[in-house]
Structure 1
Amino acid sequence: MEALGSGVPGIKLSGFSRQGAEQRGCYKAEALNSNAVRGSHCSHGETQQLDKYLRSSQLSYNTSDKSGHLVKSYMHVPAKERKLTGKTFYTSKTCTFGEDYAEISSNTAQEKVGVLLLNLGGPDTLQDVQPFLFNLFADPDIIRLPRLFRFLQRPLAQLISVVRAPKSKEGYAAIGGGSPLRRITDEQAHSLKLALGKKNLHANVYVGMRYWHPFTEEAIQQIKKDNVTKLVILPLYPQFSISTSGSSIRDLQRIFREDTYFEGLPVSIIESWYQREGYVKSMADLIEKELSSFLKPDEVMIFFSAHGVPVSYVEDSGDPYRDQMEDCISLIMDELKSRGINNPHTLAYQSRVGPVQWLKPYTDEVLVDLGQKGVKSLLAVPVSFVSEHIETLEEIDMEYKHLALESGIENWGRVPALGCTSSFISDLADAVLEALPSASAVSGKTQRNTSEDDLDPLQSVIKFFFGSILASILLLSPKLLSLFRDNLL
């Protein structure tokens, strides 16, 4: 995801399950992961603190350090004690796994179950690149402006999209003229529908993209037309970040609170699922297969490259992404070691933009460093993506591969994204089945935070007009544009 690291607001989930937010408050530990909890409960003091967050409708991943003694971090549980039986982080109540799917199916026979897959989206053609970038940068979860300058949100997004579009078009042209993400996600949706049918659950599977067609709103309209009576929301991001799953869920909440259809609809959200046994084993299968293609497999370094996020997301906004990513790598490597694969490995973060500090180490810098240290064989693993798109096909396969070979690495390989791998799709189907019992009705509409400008279209037009003038001045002034490029892009 191309993003500008300037901070994000909190994710409001008050329209969904309150219990999920309370559980989340218990999960503060060294690693803030769903599988870090072993039957823990919030203390009275922590509940009071969480109530404070909930009253302000603010989802926060920061709780009192006093809760630390309640949680045993899953990252520090010996590998042999870990149980990857499909534990998943739901916003609704935690359900018990290993249930009889036939029983679940009988309970849902009279219901119309829907599964909504959430993804980023991508331009279908080169002509779509600039409007796609505009949608991306107009998201306040990507660029957060001070209240005084919020009228610049859309004009600034327009400016950034215009400036970045030529370079982005080059990238998309190199992979065929557009993103394959929509096609692949549609294929995943079809495969998931078939897998659910084999497990005796007949459900409709929908695709909702955040920044391009089919937009989330389009999927929601189809869900209403189909009269879905129970909905499972499944972001196709294994690890949770407030800039990916969080932004999509926040957008869904906005849609839900504006539509009475969803007031009583039972909804369950699977926020992260990187720790599921099926996902971990599927990733290990792909890595093991690609290692076998090297002349000397034992000498290959496994290079996990994850999409980065600004450090401020993690340190200031409590984003659990880094902890979940590190735990994810640990789980995959434990699975490989159980198969007798003991290759060295490292983790780095790609796709940083802007002047702010992003999660380190950076992929490009690590590749150069590994080459200088004499590493000759490298297997790249795009661990935060389950579909091929520009960041795997162009950034990793072209830019990083070229950099690696130029830096002295002689043998390069890359693990493909999971796509429609049968074991992966089957595990997603299991995750949906396990989430169904935890679906609960949206707890009424939350009051929309409207400002006077929201209620006055004329004010909005005036602000966009003057904001556009300011953005145009930046765009047309060579010195200001150069400064803007250097410091923001």
Structure 2
Amino acid sequence: MSENAVLLVNLGSPDSTSVPDVKRYLREFLSDDRVIDSPKLIQQFVLNCFILPSRPKQSAEAYSKVWTDEGSPLIVTSKNLQKLLQGKIEPKVELAMRYGSPSIPDAIERMKSEGVKNVFLVPLYPHYAMSSFETVVVKVMEEVAENAPDMKVTTLQPFYSDPSYIEALYKSAKPYLDNEYDHLLFSYHGIPERHLNKADSTKAHCNVVKDCCTTCNPAHSTCYKHQVTKTTELFVKRAGIPEDKYSISFQSRLGREPWLTPYTDKVLEELPAEGKKKLVIMTPAFVSDCLETLEEIAMEGKEEFLEAGGEEFTAVPCMNEHPAWVQFLADKAENWLKSSSAVL
């Protein structure tokens, strides 16, 4: 039995489209201090008085639009990715979700019972954000410290600028870029603006220095906005897309506080008036199609764009199970195995 294992972790999904299941999922998700990082009393007041009374029903209706016979698209795709990766590498490949099931504690318990000593943790997020990458790493490390203290964990760092990741992203998107279009929109998941400042270790760069995203600084290692900007820059260079033919926007905001702008829904309403009526849209912050890509973008976003005068709307699928993406993960796992972190 191998002492090495790879642990893939994605966001998660409700167990079903029923309102109770969605409510349970949202309660866990939005109770995370790295998602809603207000003081606990305020967080729970907002959650229980303003969000949970109405949002589960709305979200359940949205999930029902994308649900498959096999279940949640995110879970189904993640399980398929797990199987494909397992076919390429020797160590056991485990899968967990930050919220919901399969859970991180259960995955760690399985690995512990199987004698796993070394784990390669792969948060399935290309970019750093406290509400995505960081919360996965913290949760895994907390569970390991409490229940498997002898287990060594090595984490794949954000790979937003990795040439092999950019190549995989390009290969998965290329068939959709080969057709004629007026504009390419990169829609990234949004975060509150204050999360940028909170993640800035220098406390003197993000939103302080002019052109902070393109001015080299140690803060970039934990700056979501810099990292999505870099991914876009490298992708358009690889794809040969001119500067006047693409832009960046941010989706999925929650609440009334300022989030990263411009907002995707607003951009979709504005583009047709600028003569950009044939649109291709990508969502590189997501590696697996989910509610935010399938319902918010491919359904609602398309409707907003066409109602504003757009003529053609093409949503590029996430990398999902694309061979280049699977190979990227396999190569990272093999490199880990060759390092001193794993026992061969």
Tell me the equivalent position of 1:32.
none
The answer to whether the Cα contact below 8 Å between 1:119 and 1:209 also exists between their aligned partners in 2 is yes
For 2:194 and 2:298, locate their aligned partners in 1 and report how far apart those are by CA, in whole Å: 29
Q: Secondary structure of 2:268's partner?
A: helix
- 1:442-466, Cα deviation, whole Å (9 max, x unpaired): xxxxxxxxxxxxxxxxxxxxxxxxx
Q: How many angstroms apart in 1 are the aligned matches of 2:340 and 2:190?
A: 31
Contact 1:302 1:381 in 2 (8 A): yes
Tell me what 2:325 maps to. Answer: 424
Q: Is the 8 A contact 2:184 2:280 kept in 1?
A: yes
Aligned match of 2:215? none
Any idea what SS the aligned residue of 1:279 has?
Answer: helix
Equivalent-residue separation in structure 1 for 2:230 and 2:10 (angstroms): 22
Match of 1:361, SS state, is coil
Alignment-mate amino acid for residue 439 of structure 1: S
The residue aligned with 1:7 is: none
Residues 1:170 and 2:61 aligned together: yes
| Deviations 1:359-405, CA, capped at 9 Å, x for gaps | 11110111122111111211010111111110111000111101111
Is the contact made by 2:10 and 2:96 (CA closer than 8 Å) also made in structure 1? yes
Distance 2:99 2:225 in 1: 24
2:233 is equivalent to residue 330 of structure 1: yes
Could you give the per-residue CA deviations for residues 403-461 of structure 1, whole angstroms, max 9, x where no partner exists? Answer: 111112111111111111111101111112223425389xxxxxxxxxxxxxxxxxxxx
Match for 2:59: what amino acid?
S
Equivalent residue for 1:212, pick from 94, 97, 100: 100
Measure how far apart 1:210 and its partner are.
1.0
Instruction: Summarize the Cα distance change of 1:376–1:154 in structure 2 as closer, same or farther, 3 Å threshold.
Output: closer
Partner secondary structure for residue 261 of structure 2: coil
Equivalence map 1:48-59=2 (5 Å): none
Residue matched to 1:122: 13
**Residue 311 of structure 1 contacts residue 359 of structure 1 at CA under 8 Å; is this kept in 2?**
yes
The 4+ residue runs of structure 1 with deviation greater than 3 A are: 151-159
Deviations 1:270-312 (A, max 9, x none): 12112222321122123321123x3xx2x43111111000110
Aligned to 1:279: 165
TM-score normalized with structure 1 length: 0.61
For 1:262, the equivalent position in structure 2 comes to: 149
Contact 2:171/2:324 (<8 A) preserved: no
SS in 2 for 1:210: strand
Following the alignment from structure 1 to structure 2, what is the Cα–Cα distance between the partners of residues 358 and 151? Answer: 22
Letter in 2 for 1:161: L
Structure 2: which amino acid aligns with 1:193? Q
Q: Give the match for residue 341 of structure 2.
A: 439
| Equivalent AA in structure 1 for residue 341 of structure 2 | A
Residue 163 of structure 2 aligns with an amino acid whose one-letter code is: E
CA distance in 2, matches of 1:288, 1:272: 23
Q: What secondary structure is seen at the aligned counterpart in 2 of 1:355? A: coil
Secondary structure at the counterpart of residue 322 of structure 1: helix
* Cα distance per residue 1:17-55 (max 9 Å; x no partner): xxxxxxxxxxxxxxxxxxxxxxxxxxxxxxxxxxxxxxx
Q: How big is the shift at 1:111?
A: 4.5
Quote the sequence identity (%): 29
2:187 maps to what in 1? 305
Q: Which residue of 2 aligns with 1:233?
A: 121
> Contact 1:111 / 1:230 at 8 angstroms: preserved in 2?
no
Over 3 Å counting, the alpha-carbon distance change for 1:156 and 1:364 in structure 2 is closer
User: How far is 1:229 from its partner?
Assistant: 2.1
For residue 75 of structure 2, the aligned residue among 165, 174, 182 is 182
Match of 2:290 in 1: 389
SS class of match (1:162)? coil
Q: Does the aligned pair in 1 maintain the 2:4–2:342 contact within 8 Å?
A: no
**What is the count of residue pairs matched by the alignment?**
315
In the TM superposition, what whole-angstrom CA distance separates every residue of 1:144-167 from its partner, at most 9, and x where no partner exists? 233xxx356556544422321111
Q: Deviations over 1:58-85 (max 9, x none)?
A: xxxxxxxxxxxxxxxxxxxxxxxxxxxx
Post-superposition shift, 1:115? 0.4
Q: Counterpart amino acid of 1:166? A: K
3-state DSSP of counterpart to 1:244: helix
8 A contact 1:131–1:161 mirrored in 2: no
> Where do 5+ consecutive residues of structure 2 fail to align?
201-221
Paired with 1:398 and 1:163, the residues of 2 have a C-alpha distance of 21
The answer (yes or no) to whether the contact 2:192–2:257 under 8 Å persists in 1 is yes
Report the counterpart of residue 399 of structure 1 in structure 2: 300
C-alpha change, 1:193 and 1:402, in structure 2 (3 Å) is: same
Separation of aligned partners in 2, 1:228 and 1:248: 20
Contiguous gaps of at least 5 residues in structure 1? 1-109, 197-201, 442-489
CA separation in 1, counterparts of 2:341 and 2:133?
18
Distance 1:158 1:404 in 2: 34
